[in-house]
Chains A and B, each alone.
Chain A
Amino acid sequence: MVKLNLLLLFALVFCALSLVTSRHQARKLFVELEREQTLARTYDVEYGQLQLEQSTWAMPARIEKVAREQLTMQLPGPGRIQVMDASSR
């Protein structure tokens, strides 16, 4: 009888301790999850800002300006366009 009781007591202490540890683990993991989620949100925000920046740089008005002024490109006039007809090579 005493043996059984002792066994049960040890089992009880073991359970109690593991409950405490897993509880602690869970909290630690939760804090980590929380941190990662915050990070994900910051990245999301940054992604939005980068998209904004990209589309600002890629605005047709700017591309045209760069093409005309820095690269001195120009549209060919009708006289300088040759249309190739695929059927009558």
Chain B
Amino acid sequence: MIVTSASRAVATPKLPRLRAPILFGMLLALFALLAARSLYLQWIDNAFLQEQGSSRYSRDLEVLAHRGRILDRFGAPLAISTPVKAIWAWPEKVEATPEQLQALATALDLAPSALAAKLDAGEDFVYLKRGAPPEIAARVATLGIKGVHDDDEYRRYYPGGEVMSHVLGFTGDRDVGQEGIELAQQAWLGGTPGGRRVIINRRGEVVEDVANIRSPREGRDLALSIDSRLQYLAYRELKIAVEGNKAKAGGLVILDARTGEILALANLPSYNPNNRNRVARERMRNRAFTDIFEPGSTLKPFTIAAALEAGKVQPSSLIDTAPGTLTIGNATIHDAHREGTLTVEQVVQKSSNVGAAKIALSLPPERIWSTLSGAGFGAPLKSGFPGEVSGRLRPAKSWRPIEQATIAYGHGISVNLVQLARAYTVFATDGELKPVTLFKEAGAVAGPPVLKAETARAVRHMLEMVVMSGGTAPKAQVPGYRVAGKTGTAHKLEGGSYINKFVASFVGFAPASNPRLIIAVMIDEPSGQYYGGSVAAPVFSSVMGAALRLLGVHTDAPIGSILPPAEAAEVQEET
């Protein structure tokens, strides 16, 4: 085919007239589409891409907050949280050679079979070890096994172990309080973890703080009123007594007579809060707060105080307790030993039930009720301790004469040990009932006046007679100090009737000239000897003597004046 150049020039293809504008329009439309898409991504649907972008350079870090420490009154730590590692695994994702598994088991201090059992249990997630020291976690990390990880967590340690366990309680999972002070003061002690967003570089180092998402709130320290030296002393002596008397349980409370602070609170049986696998719930109970018992004769001084307040008797008034029994309706009250005519002081000293009942019956019931209720019986302590019980004191209107007589010597009324110790603040002071607290107070604390000062002083003198020769508790004497107190030996109530099991108790204070400490001891079901004067009073004596010496309290009696307990005439009592 011959094609001329002219024809070439002329034969420029004849394009459709609209082709160029259409193409141009299409290109424009595509550009518009791109622009619209980018605008859409930039302003409207920007979340996804921004998240993708920021995930490449920003991280949200958790800021752990630790739990506050619990300190004693001098700042010695009683509970501290320290960071540990929880080592866990996704069993499905674990890829390890047998040698690696062997090394892992060694590092975790587990038998290889136990490790294999954990991994083959068919769970999605298993903890291999909790509360592991950071060194162990580091050793596990160097093994580099896929699917095995660790997390930071806190573990709480209690250096005091079983000595402090009932007061402090313990924390459970995630360091949250479960018992005792740890539970009661969770809001104060517990920290709230915070979070912050940071920018990291390619090496994973944090290069900039972007935002504080949540500030962490560290747990605050808490100072208790407990004196750890006295606490140890109380626990040690109580343990000797409970084991020596083969008793079921025991409790001991030391109060500061001026402030109502609890300086020591020991309970047996006890447990070690650092290792409480297989500890029965029963042992974890703080019996001094959560268990009530019938106090027995330790209540007599309150009956006498009510009678003195009412002006019915004087300390030297005579009461005829012969022949050692008193029949009211079809019930008979017994004395453990026969006495003839006793003064009111001797009724307390020798703990005569008949005498106390006769005095009580000469009073209107409301009078006794108001003294007992003023001393804090039958009402909550408001200590804030979890599980605290308030005991029972029935309204005076419902008392029958026999009940009025038994309440006079502490039956038909129930108390807890802390309540009983606190009630004695009215005799240790000039009639003031101090509020009890487990937290440190700055100075002396005033309480509501319950008794007249002269009544309190008169009863204090009677309580001093109790520990002298001829009283129920010469064994409560402390060399060098004047001591006042009252024994209790109460029959236990089981299934609505009194049985031949006893609660031996002693509540007292010293130095009697200017009381500093109140100690209440309770021994539950001692076997063999069961009188408060022979079971509980010696514990009181040894704890009080050592405690006063520790606190540097000045002696108020010649040191040689004490009678060896064997020579002192001890009077036995029941209730």
Query: A56 contacts which chain B residues (CB < 8 A)?
Result: 159
A52 touches B205 (CB 8 A): no
A2 at the interface (CB under 8 A from B): no
CA distance A41 to B156 in the complex (A): 18
CA distance A78 to B481 in the complex (A): 12
Residues of B within 8 A of A (CB-CB), count: 31
Which residues from 47 to 100 on chain B have a C-beta closer than 8 Å to any C-beta of chain A? 66, 69, 76-78, 80-83
B82 touches A27 (CB 8 A): no
Residue of B nearest to A57 (CB): B159
Cβ distance B223 to chain A, nearest Cβ, rounded Å: 15
B480 touches A81 (CB 8 A): yes
Cβ distance A85 to chain B, nearest Cβ, rounded Å: 9
A16 at the interface (CB under 8 A from B): no
B290 at the interface (CB under 8 A from A): no
Which of A27, A51, A60 lies in contact with B77, CB distance below 8 A? A51
Cβ distance B252 to chain A, nearest Cβ, rounded Å: 15
Cβ distance B560 to chain A, nearest Cβ, rounded Å: 7
Cβ distance B175 to chain A, nearest Cβ, rounded Å: 13
Which residues from 127 to 165 on chain B have a C-beta closer than 8 Å to any C-beta of chain A? 157, 159-161, 163
CA distance A82 to B558 in the complex (A): 10
1/0 contact string of A65-89 vs chain B (CB within 8 Å):
0000000000000110111000000
Q: From known contacts A30-B207, A48-B80, A58-B76, infer whether A78 and B228 are also in contact, taking CB-CB under 8 Å.
A: no
B233 touches A83 (CB 8 A): no
Q: From known contacts A55-B76, A60-B232, A61-B232, infer whether A27 and B208 are also in contact, taking CB-CB under 8 Å.
A: yes
A78 touches B77 (CB 8 A): no
CA distance A61 to B272 in the complex (A): 14
Query: A39 contacts which chain B residues (CB < 8 A)?
Result: none
CA distance A78 to B557 in the complex (A): 13
CA distance A45 to B81 in the complex (A): 9
CA distance A54 to B163 in the complex (A): 17
B479 at the interface (CB under 8 A from A): yes
B566 at the interface (CB under 8 A from A): no
1/0 contact string of B195-214 vs chain A (CB within 8 Å):
00000000001111100000
CA distance A61 to B78 in the complex (A): 14
Which of B80, B209, B558 lies in contact with A52, CB distance below 8 A? B80
A31 touches B76 (CB 8 A): no
Which of A60, A78, A79, A83 lies in contact with B229, CB distance below 8 A? A60
1/0 contact string of B513-528 vs chain A (CB within 8 Å):
0000000000000000
1/0 contact string of A21-55 vs chain B (CB within 8 Å):
00000010011001000000000010011011001
A4 at the interface (CB under 8 A from B): no
Cβ distance B473 to chain A, nearest Cβ, rounded Å: 18
A52 touches B479 (CB 8 A): no
CA distance A64 to B161 in the complex (A): 16
B555 at the interface (CB under 8 A from A): yes
CA distance A67 to B205 in the complex (A): 52
Which of A51, A59, A61, A79 lies in contact with B80, CB distance below 8 A? A51
Query: B209 contacts which chain A residues (CB < 8 A)?
Result: 30
Cβ distance B152 to chain A, nearest Cβ, rounded Å: 11
Residue of A nearest to B157 (CB): A52
Query: B233 contacts which chain A residues (CB < 8 A)?
Result: 60
B560 touches A52 (CB 8 A): no
Query: B479 contacts which chain A residues (CB < 8 A)?
Result: 78, 81
**Can you list 17 A-B contacts (CB < 8 A)?**
A30-B209, A31-B206, A31-B207, A34-B205, A48-B69, A48-B82, A51-B69, A51-B80, A52-B80, A55-B76, A55-B77, A59-B159, A61-B163, A79-B560, A81-B480, A82-B559, A83-B555
Q: Which residues of A contact B (CB under 8 A)?
A: 27, 30-31, 34, 45, 48-49, 51-52, 55-56, 58-61, 64, 78-79, 81-83
Q: A59-B159, A60-B233, A61-B236 are in contact. List 18 more A-B contacts (CB 8 A).
A: A30-B207, A30-B208, A45-B83, A48-B69, A48-B80, A48-B81, A49-B82, A52-B77, A52-B157, A55-B77, A55-B80, A60-B229, A61-B163, A78-B479, A78-B480, A79-B560, A81-B480, A83-B555
